[in-house]
Chain A
Amino acid sequence: MLKVPVNAQDHTLGSLHAPRVLVEYGDYQCPSCGEAYPIIKELIAKHQHNLLFVFRNFPLQESHPEAMPAALAAEAAARQSKFWEMHDIIYENQADLTIQHIMNFAEEIGLDMEQFRADWKSQELLNRIEKDYEGGLRSGVNGTPCFFINGHRFDQFDGSLESLESAIAM
């Protein structure tokens, strides 16, 4: 079960009143999350009226040293209301998440670079990501991507759109 209910601090896509809520705990450098990314995009596009999608951070930093800087970049972009732009560009270029590339992404999506540079190193954002991680752990997340549908753990994702669609079917 999801221990931290979806709340106003979450990054969401779709209708807040949607009957189905899909929460993903993800790591920006995790290859399986990268493979799930376009599938989730497609799912959201097809079911935008009855689905709310939430992304929470679950960076495994020792295995994926670029996951935390990338998560910080997305949270920093959120301060300029461009969380999803950064989230998307990171997953679309997942193979190369060096600092220089992330700077380029920030420019590409049109962030105020001075503010971005400051926010990227913010302790507050780091705390937020760690809180996401802790909430995930408490909810039983043991790897990424990990999905919850309406608060219930969904372990049957097999990499296909169909598996997610059947899970959110009414």
Chain B
Amino acid sequence: MILEKNTPAPEFDLFSTPDQRLKLSDFKGQRVILAFYPADWSPVCSDELSLFNESLKLFTEHKAVLLGISVDSKWSHMAFAQSRKLHFPLLADFEPKGLVSKQYGVYNEEEGESRRALFLIDEHGIIQWSYLSPDGINPGADGILEALESLDQSKNQ
């Protein structure tokens, strides 16, 4: 089962580049959008990540950072990010394979890939919104933006 609202987000520590690792706790005090996707280079993923890439400014306005995550290796991520000119980190859930995807409840055992899923994690490391998209469908960014806005509103109350 995909982790749902009000669940503490499991910590992770994964390669984001060949010589750099990122931990969820590095982002304490910030909002994190975690975008799991099946594979680098596949057409739908590229569309989804390209769309998010173009939307970074809006995410930043809501004080959120975006992290992509799949089971691809750090080297694949590096080439993929360069090719698609992505301006956000891609995390390699590569060894042990899919461990973080499994912890978030979005691992596809049959394909050996992450499912296409989105999480919004708040400043305190709590999941505030999650969404599992059909693998073949680009979920768009409207769900993330709505979740960010409702977080803004509940904060202002």
Contact = CB atoms under 8 A, between A and B. Distances in A.
Given A3-B142, A62-B53, A142-B51, 19 more contacts: A60-B50, A60-B51, A60-B54, A62-B50, A62-B84, A62-B85, A62-B86, A133-B54, A134-B58, A137-B51, A137-B55, A137-B58, A137-B141, A138-B142, A138-B145, A140-B140, A142-B141, A143-B51, A143-B138
B89 to A, nearest CB: 16
A79 B84 CA distance: 34
A156 to B, nearest CB: 14
Contacts of B140: 137, 140-142
Contacts of A140: 140, 142
Nearest to B46: A63
Contacts of A94: none
21 contacts: A3-B142, A60-B51, A61-B54, A62-B53, A62-B84, A62-B85, A63-B84, A133-B54, A134-B58, A137-B51, A137-B55, A137-B140, A137-B145, A138-B142, A138-B146, A141-B140, A142-B48, A142-B138, A142-B140, A143-B51, A143-B138
A63 B58 contact: no
Nearest to A134: B58
Contact of B50 (A63, A137, A139, A141): A63
A126 to B, nearest CB: 12
By secondary structure, the B interface counts as helix
A3 B51 CA distance: 18
B85 A137 contact: no
B47 interface: yes
A62 B55 CA distance: 11
Centre residue among B48, B50, B86 by max chain A CB count within 10 A = B50
Interface string B23-54: 00000000000000000000000011011011
Contacts of B84: 62-63
Contacts, number: 40
A interface bracket (residues with beta carbon within 8 Å of B):
10 to 19
B105 interface: no
By secondary structure, the A interface counts as loop
Contacts of B142: 3, 137-140
Interface string A133-170: 11001111111000000000000000000000000000
A141 B57 CA distance: 17
Q: Closest 6 CB pairs between A and B?
A: A142-B140, A62-B85, A142-B138, A140-B142, A140-B140, A137-B141
B51 A62 contact: no
Nearest to B143: A140
Nearest to B84: A62
B144 to A, nearest CB: 9
A140 B51 CA distance: 11
Nearest to A63: B50
Nearest to B144: A137
A138 to B, nearest CB: 5
Centre residue among A134, A139, A142, A143 by max chain B CB count within 10 A = A142
A140 B84 CA distance: 22
